[in-house]
Amino acid sequence: MLLMHLIRKRVVRPLVDAKNLVVSLAEGNLDANIPRSRHADEVGGMMRALQVLRARIMERNSLAREREELITQLQASSNTDFLTGVWNRRAFYTHAQQQMAVAQRYQRDLAIVMFDIDWFKRINDEYGHLAGDEILRGVAQTVQQLLRKVDVLARYGGEEFIVLLPESDLQNGMAVAQKLREALEQKSFVVDGGQELRVTASFGVAASVGQQALEQLIKLADEALYTAKDQGRNRVEMAVE
């Protein structure tokens, strides 16, 4: 009886515990308690091996998380304009193509707003490029705060920005552009040295009709933008096909 008790205590129970621990580790339960054996026998060696196995699994999971975080950071940096923090042109095109396909498939409205900071070269020439950078960041932040979560703002190039407005027709796009124009006109931007500057912007708006390609819609918005600049700047113009 004593021998049976010892076998059950020293062999059978540890083997059952080890089996349960292996199953638990396989299911991802890394908090399972692995007892430390006081004996330098096969069962003790198996428990030590399970401790090593758990440590290796935790290391592997940690490396996998770090890799995923790094991939996410790289994707975000590749999609983001380094100066303003909004999307860059490439990321905008990728997203806008998808939204355009959805709008056309389900016959939904979609509008694009393009705008350009008026007389931006004068700011760089008179106050320096650092001041120009501050203006670009300030304009992007001001506009971003006035958009919906579904809207997308991107820096198109230089001092030119583009906005994607899902579920918006031409009139809605015009209203949004007018709201943005007024907000920028009323905003004071503090640049390096504490000096306050005011800027205005010109806007062009186009909306999706039928099966237009994204490039055609952007071209229409861009043409409307240049009409706004030709008409005196600090104004909103709609596309004319």
Q: At 81, give phi and psi (nearest 5°).
A: -70, 125
The residues that bridge with 163 in the sheet, in sequence order, are 113, 153
Find out whether 212 and 234 touch, Cβ atoms under 8 Å.
no
Catalytic residue among 134, 159, 160, 237: 159
The token pair that represents 31 in the structure block: 């908090």
- Is 159 catalytic? The answer is yes
Residues annotated as catalytic are: 159
